[in-house]
């Protein structure tokens, strides 16, 4: 369980890569993770995110599904086909969490998803669950 006090989570120091083209979503997710002691990497497009994942080897990737250019599902498939990144868990960030969308998210290789707008109380617990 996460604490609201900076640095008191047992998962403090884990590296999380957020790939999202919405600056407000990026800032909110980063703030929620940093206050819980996580190291946060950011990318605002899939290509940059794929490069960061390959170079930085994060413990978890939070992937926006609706990205310009290469979308989040395609980026997930690219990362899952790459020997260097295929074992990194990827959780989708999506405003589209309908039944068919969930199937597509899981089929692409994501371990699950977090609905947008994010519930700030649930977000840290969901991230912790994806890291286990």
pLDDT tens across the length of the chain (132 residues): 344 444 446 677 899 999 999 999 999 999 999 998 999 999 999 999 999 999 999 999 999 999 999 999 999 999 999 999 999 999 999 886 676 788 899 999 999 999 988 899 899 889 999 998
Rg (CA), the chain: 13
What is the model's pLDDT at position 11?
Answer: 74
What is the model's pLDDT at position 27?
Answer: 96
What is the model's pLDDT at position 7?
Answer: 45
Q: Are 19 and 49 in contact (CB under 8 A)?
A: yes
Domains located in the chain, CATH noted: 15-131 (3.40.50.2300)
């Amino acid at each position: 369980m996460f604490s609201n006090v900076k640095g008191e989570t047992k998962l403090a120091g884990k590296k999380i890569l957020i790939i999202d083209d919405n600056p407000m979503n990026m800032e909110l997710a980063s703030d929620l993770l940093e206050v819980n002691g996580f190291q946060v990497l950011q990318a605002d497009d899939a290509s940059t995110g794929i490069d960061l994942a390959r170079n930085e080897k994060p413990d978890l990737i939070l992937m926006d599904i609706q990205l310009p250019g290469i979308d989040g599902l395609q980026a997930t498939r690219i990362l899952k086909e790459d020997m260097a990144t295929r074992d990194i868990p990827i959780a989708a960030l999506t405003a589209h969490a309908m039944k068919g969308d969930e199937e597509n998210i899981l089929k692409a290789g994501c371990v699950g998803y977090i609905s947008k707008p994010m519930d700030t109380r649930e977000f840290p617990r969901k991230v912790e669950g994806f890291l286990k």
